[in-house]
Amino acid sequence: MKTLIVDDEPLALKRMRRLLEDIPNIEIVGEAKSGKEALLRSSALHPDIVLLDIRMPEMDGLETALHLSHIQHPPAIIFTTAFTEHALAAFDAHAVDYLLKPIRRERLEKALVNAQKINRAQLLELGKQEEASRARSHISAYMGGNLQLVPSENIYFFQAEQKYVSVHHAEGQLLIDDSLKTLEDEFGERFLRVHRNSLVAIEYVEGLEKDKEGRYQICIRNSAERVEVSRRMVAATRRRLKEMGKV
C-alpha cells in the first residue's frame, strides 16, 4: 500500500517512517510537512493511505482531509494526534481512525489493516465538534486534472451558477460544488449576502454604486467585476456597509 506521511514535526516524521519501514506491504511514497504540501503531493503520488497529523499551522489535518475527500480516488486517512483521550471521543463517534502519539507499532499495524476512506459528511461533523466555528483556510477544486488551492483570504466573492458555485479570486475563477448557504454558514461575518446568488467578501468591497439602469452594484477592490445587489437586499446591504465604513 502506497503511504504518505504528513506531520509538521521532523522528529515525528522520522519516527513514523522508521515504524512503517518494518511493516510488510507498505511503500512509503513521500512525506509532507504541511496540509497544503500534503494535498499537492497526494495529487501527484496517488497514495492509498495518508497518515495525517491533526494540528498543523496554516491548514490543519481536518481541513486537509476535507480537501482530499474531493478528489476522484480519495485515499484512506488515519489521523495522528497528541489529543487527550476525552477529546478523541468525537473521532470514535464518527468511526474515524486515529493514532494517539506516541504511536505504538502494534496499533499502527492494526490501523493500516482497517484503514478506510472517510466521507465529507464525517469530516464536516467532526469539524463542528472539534471547533465550533471552523472555516477553511483554502478552497480547493480540480481543474484540468490539477488541484487548485485558493486561500480564502484572496476570495472576492462567491456566485451561484446552476449546479455549481463560482469562486472569484485574485488569480481568476474556479468552480466548486458547495452550496452558497453552506459557504455563508461557514464563513459567517467575513462575507455579505447581497443577492440570492451572491456572497461578497466585505474586505474587498470598495463601494456601492448604481448602473445606467438604476441597479445597485458592489464595486470590488482590485477587480473590474461588479456584483449586483438585489432590490430587496439594497437597504440591508447599505446599512451593513455603512457600519463597516465602506459607504
Q: Which string of DSSP letters, residue by residue, matches the chain?
A: -EEEEE-S-HHHHHHHHHHHHTSTT-EEEEEESSHHHHHHHHHHH--SEEEEES--SSS-HHHHHHHHTTSSSPPEEEEEE---TTTTHHHHHTT--EEESSPPHHHHHHHHHH--B--HHHHHHHHHHH-TT---SEEEEEETTEEEEEEGGGEEEEEEETTEEEEEETTEEEEE---HHHHHHHHGGGEEEEETTEEEEGGGEEEEEE-TTS-EEEEETT-S-EEE--GGGHHHHHHHHHHTT--
Same domain, yes or no, for 122 and 8? yes
Query: What pLDDT, on the 0 to 100 scale, is given for residue 243?
Result: 87
Same domain, yes or no, for 29 and 120? yes
Same domain, yes or no, for 20 and 96? yes
Same domain, yes or no, for 32 and 110? yes
- pLDDT tens digit sequence for 129-160: 555 446 889 999 887 777 889 999 999 999 99
Residues lower than pLDDT 70 in the chain: 85-87, 89-90, 93-95, 124, 127-134
Structural domains of the chain, count: 2
Q: Any idea what the CATH number is for the domain that residue 237 is in?
A: 2.40.50.1020
From residue 66, alpha-carbon distances to 90, 155, 199 in Å are 16, 19, 22
Among the candidates 94, 114, 130, a domain finishes at 130
Total-model pTM? 0.80
**Grid coordinates in use for 136?**
477553511
Q: Any idea what the CATH number is for the domain that residue 32 is in?
A: 3.40.50.2300
CA atoms within 13 A on the CB side of 173: 12
Query: What pLDDT, on the 0 to 100 scale, is given for residue 132?
Result: 45
Q: Bridge-partner residues for 52, per DSSP?
A: 6, 79
Query: What pLDDT, on the 0 to 100 scale, is given for residue 129?
Result: 57
Grid cell 487527550 is found at 84
Query: What pLDDT, on the 0 to 100 scale, is given for residue 62?
Result: 86
Query: What pLDDT, on the 0 to 100 scale, is given for residue 85?
Result: 64
Range of the domain at 143: 138-243
Same domain, yes or no, for 25 and 100? yes
Among the candidates 81, 106, 130, a domain finishes at 130
Grid cell 455563508 is found at 184
Among the candidates 83, 111, 130, a domain finishes at 130
Same domain, yes or no, for 145 and 221? yes
